[in-house]
A and B are shown apart, each in its own frame.
Chain A
Amino acid sequence: MTSAPLDHVHAAVPPWRDIRVLRIAVQVVVVALVLAIGFVLWSNLTASMGRSRLTFGLGFLDTTAGFEIAESPIQFSATDTYGRAFAVGLINTLIISVAGIVLATILGVIVGVGRLSGNWLVNHLAAGFVEVMRNTPLLVQLVLLYAVLLQLPSVANAVALPGSIYLSQRGLSFPRPVVGPTFGAWLALLGIGIAVALATRWFAARREASGHPSSGLRRVGILAMVTIPVVGWVALGAPISLDVPILQRFNFVGGIVLSPEFSALLFGLVIYTSAFIGEVVRGGIQSVRRGQLEAAYAVGLTPRQTLRLVVFPQALRVIVPPLTSQYLNLAKNSSLAIVIGFPDLFSVSRTMSNQTGQPVSVIMLVMATYLAISLATSLAMNLYNRRVQVLEG
């Protein structure tokens, strides 16, 4: 009854004033515009490329690269393909990103908690760190850090640290454990030793349960666990050896080298990003209401327990979404590596695009790759975020 007059009113509204029609019309126009702009941009690109005789295509990925890459975690030489060169750059980017994210998170939490510390010195140190690092450009920090690392002693005058570790302007060289052919056999002996120890322990426990003293038996077990692998080590002739860096004519050969480029990039990204993460963490912690703290103290929790059991779980809900952005920034900022000569994804692809004369294809490939990295990071963080949020419920 009451709706009849309203229907009548609706019917009287002309379509150009009908809110339902207008809403649909606006959406149609928006979609049409987006498509039109996309078409203009696309035809512009293809027309320009046709005129410049550029072609799309990733066929070059299977051809020989012909250039060397300074640092590659996987085997790479000039005779390998562009595809493999791209993979080397990608792996370098992933290593930097993952290591950077882990370290920046640790440092960021320390800084964030430090800013809330009641200790004047800690508080102000953390605040100073955040303000300086957050308010200067990352590129400048990287160039500065790299320049500083190049001021380390030359290779010939490298600083020798205990354990065959050498520090010079060419990087930090340290021994690399090398697994020998007898390593498998030794691992088996180690397993036997542990098995004997466990067996004797179980046996001793049974005897003790039936009232027999058997501490001697336990000792025999532990002795076996130590002796069998040690004797095996000697008998098998050191299944794990160390590849120690040795100074040759120009460089240290052998071992693992952390190059100044890698170090400068990693620490630059970690320091810069941790300043932002510190602020995110501080904001998250401050978002936990004071009553929660008072309640925690009231039930007798220590400050440390309060932080771990009450504050952090609630703060995480606020921290995780902006933290994701910082992780994405760190991964994307790693492309600044090109300035300090670290062969990351972008740096390697610049050489590729130049040698192949396929800039558009290479840039699109690089963009797609960064997009994939970022989307994967977002996905992982969103899943984690969901878990954190559920905890509250």
Chain B
Amino acid sequence: MRRPVRTHHGFVVLLLFALFAVACEPGPTPSPVSTAESSPGPSAEATPSPAETASPAATSERLADVQSRGQLICGVNGGLPGFSFLEEGTGEWSGFDTDFCRAIAAAVLGDPEAVEFRPLSADERSTALQTGEIDVLVRNTTWTVSRDTAWGLFAPTTFYDGQGMMVTSATGATTLQDLEGATICVQSGTTTELNLTDQMRALGVDFSPQVFGDIDATYDAYTQGRCDAVTSDRSQLVARRTQFTNPDDHIILDVVMSKEPLGPVAPLGDDQWFNVVKWVVFATFEAEEQGIDAGNVEQMRDSSENPVIRRLLGVQPDAGELAAGLGLEDDWVVNVIGAVGNYGEIYNRNLGPDTPFNLDRGPNRQWTDGGLLYAAPYR
């Protein structure tokens, strides 16, 4: 009786020592609080290794972290053609959102390919931001006040979207009121889920939601007839419809159920890093407004007389100070535009007339064309 008990104790002690050693490993200092500072937080187990993990920064540390790591960790959707998906055949990441990840990497590291894309579900993205596991979230995420205060800071909207509703043409529905009694598929953890409820309640339309955690499960259930309709951002509906076996059997109702401003999100608590993300987005807007594109950016830098362009491209005498304020190289905008092009190029390459989506730019035009894109002055 006695012997087994003793061996048992010895084993437990060994195990605890091992655990303790492992728990302390990432921390260079013995104090538990310091250990906590340098370890990636509660969701550490979800990340591959400490070296690859973006450590959360309390103050302006993230820019330095990204630069010393030599890679940007960018949270993306991963399942949304046109925005972020793996290109068939090449296996390369491609899309509107991924191009903004590349733009940030080009600005910060000078290399648009120095990005680790991390696909996140709608549920996972808030935790990934809050724990600082990713440097920036570019995942068709709607800007709301609760997310701005609890998730992270929203950079300028890159895509003005609205919630739409897709139905099979067999239902003959043309308005939301026609969907009385219908079953509607929706993805959990989205603003869409809440808007659907709000809109239908306002219209007094009874419906039954069918909620899935995964984007693929949502559309699978819809195409198999489990639901009469599926609701999401209009751009997403258009993108997913191109993947259906018979895209023509599905129509997107001519209703916009909500405002969905989608944009990049930087983790809370690092103002400088947030400024970098914000101004990379503005730079793509400004470049389009000034007629700078991937093809002519170097020539513009070398020959333009326009002080606005010269300042943006880092050749005006005061431009160095502006770039230094962001913590970036003088020619960071040249890197960004040279790598991914201006906003219009990014849009057309991924969603424009030559793509299967052929999405009209709508409100995503420059303010000079009657759209909503309006970059703050770079000066």
Chain A interface (Cβ within 8 Å of chain B)?
A: 23, 26-27, 29-30, 33-34, 36-37, 39-41, 43-45, 47-49, 51-54, 66-70, 78, 147, 150-151, 154, 169-170, 248-251, 253, 260-261, 338-341, 343, 347, 350-351, 353-355, 357, 359-360
Contacts and interface: CB of A to CB of B under 8 A. Distances in A.
Given A53-B150, A339-B217, A260 B226 contact: yes
A354 B269 contact: no
Interface centre among A41, A68, A154 (most CB of B within 10 A): A68
15 contacts: A44-B36, A48-B56, A52-B41, A52-B267, A53-B150, A67-B209, A78-B198, A154-B225, A253-B181, A260-B226, A338-B213, A339-B213, A347-B213, A357-B130, A359-B130
A341 B217 contact: yes
A251 B228 CA distance: 9
A356 B13 CA distance: 41
B210 interface: yes
B123 A26 contact: no
A45 B269 contact: no
| Top 6 A-B residue pairs of the complex, sorted by shortest distance between their CB atoms | A357-B150, A354-B189, A48-B41, A47-B36, A44-B36, A52-B130
Contacts of B126: 354, 357, 359
Given A66-B198, A150-B221, A357-B147, A347 B211 contact: yes
Contacts, number: 160
Given A250-B182, A251-B181, 9 more contacts: A26-B13, A43-B33, A53-B150, A54-B130, A78-B201, A250-B183, A251-B208, A339-B217, A355-B189
A78 B23 contact: no
B13 A29 contact: yes
Interface stretch (B14-22, B238-246, B287-295): B14-22
Interface centre among B17, B19, B127 (most CB of A within 10 A): B127
B181 A67 contact: no
Contact of B122 (A36, A66, A67, A354): A354
Interface in B197-248: 197-198, 201, 207-214, 217, 221, 224-226, 228
A347 B217 CA distance: 14
Given A51-B56, A51-B58, A40 B23 contact: yes
A29 B10 CA distance: 11
B146 interface: yes
Interface string B246-267: 0000000000000000000001
B33 A350 contact: no
A267 to B, nearest CB: 17
B103 to A, nearest CB: 26
B344 to A, nearest CB: 34
A360 B127 CA distance: 9
Contacts of A338: 213
A317 B357 CA distance: 65
Contacts of A29: 13
Contact of B269 (A48, A51, A69): A51
B13 A33 contact: yes
Contacts of A53: 130, 150, 268-269
A304 B132 CA distance: 65
Contacts of A34: 16
Contacts of B228: 250-251
Contact of A351 (B12, B127, B211): B211
A19 to B, nearest CB: 9
Interface in B162-189: 171, 179-183, 188-189
Contacts of A47: 33, 36-37
Given A250-B182, A357-B147, A359-B127, A43 B217 contact: no
B239 to A, nearest CB: 21
Interface in B330-361: none
A170 B214 CA distance: 20
Nearest to B122: A354
Contacts of B35: 40, 44
Contact of B221 (A40, A51, A249, A341): A341
A33 B42 contact: no
Contacts of B58: 51
Given A66-B197, A70-B208, A249-B181, A48 B221 contact: no
Nearest to A48: B41
B98 interface: no
A40 B207 CA distance: 49
A27 B36 contact: no
Interface in B122-158: 122-123, 126-127, 130-132, 146-147, 150-151
Contacts of B132: 51-52
B12 A30 contact: yes
B193 interface: yes
Contacts of B225: 150, 154, 169
B17 to A, nearest CB: 7
B308 to A, nearest CB: 38
A151 B220 CA distance: 12
A70 B194 contact: no
A322 to B, nearest CB: 23
Contacts of B208: 68, 70, 251
Contacts of B226: 150, 169-170, 260
Nearest to A49: B42
A187 to B, nearest CB: 34
Contacts of A150: 221, 224-226
Nearest to A78: B197
A85 to B, nearest CB: 12
A341 B210 contact: yes
A150 to B, nearest CB: 4
A30 B226 CA distance: 55
Interface string B97-137: 00000000000000000000000001100110011100000
